[in-house]
Amino acid sequence: MLMVKRGKLDLDDRESQQGVNSGVVLYNLGQMRQSEIYKENLRHENYNDLFKFSGADRFLVGDQDWFTTLRWKHPQLFKILPCEYNFFKFDSSAFECQGEPKIMHRI
């Protein structure tokens, strides 16, 4: 859960704003190991750059916040699963999903 200050990120559509749920994830380890962008962002000295990009006050959910920010900065590194595999509703507003949920999260 990123604690983002208003106005730092300019994401123009709701799908782009969606965070990464690191509890429902498939990794292509071969591609991750070969990606120069991914490897650069793993370096300790580059952590602050990614953190500053997020505009967050702090990262509260370590890996999940890091992957979410990496996705915002480098969306080409990610393929988001269809909504049926990551359906969640945390209040009266939920991301619209027309399919039948296959994995449901309760927050």
pTM above 0.75, yes or no: no
- Beta-bridged to residue 87, according to DSSP, are 104
User: DSSP secondary-structure letter at 18?
Assistant: P
CA dihedral 30, 32, 33, 34 (to 10 degrees): 90
Distance (Å) of CA 69 to CA 23, 83, 91, 103: 16, 20, 23, 23
pLDDT digits (tens, 9 = 90+) for 18-74: 777 777 788 899 999 999 999 999 998 888 888 888 877 777 777 888 898 899 899
Please answer whether residues 23 and 61 qualify as being in contact, where contact means their C-beta atoms are separated by less than 8 angstroms: no
Classify each residue of 8-21 as buried b or exposed e, where b means 16 or more C-beta atoms within 10 Å of its C-beta: ebeeeeeeeebebb
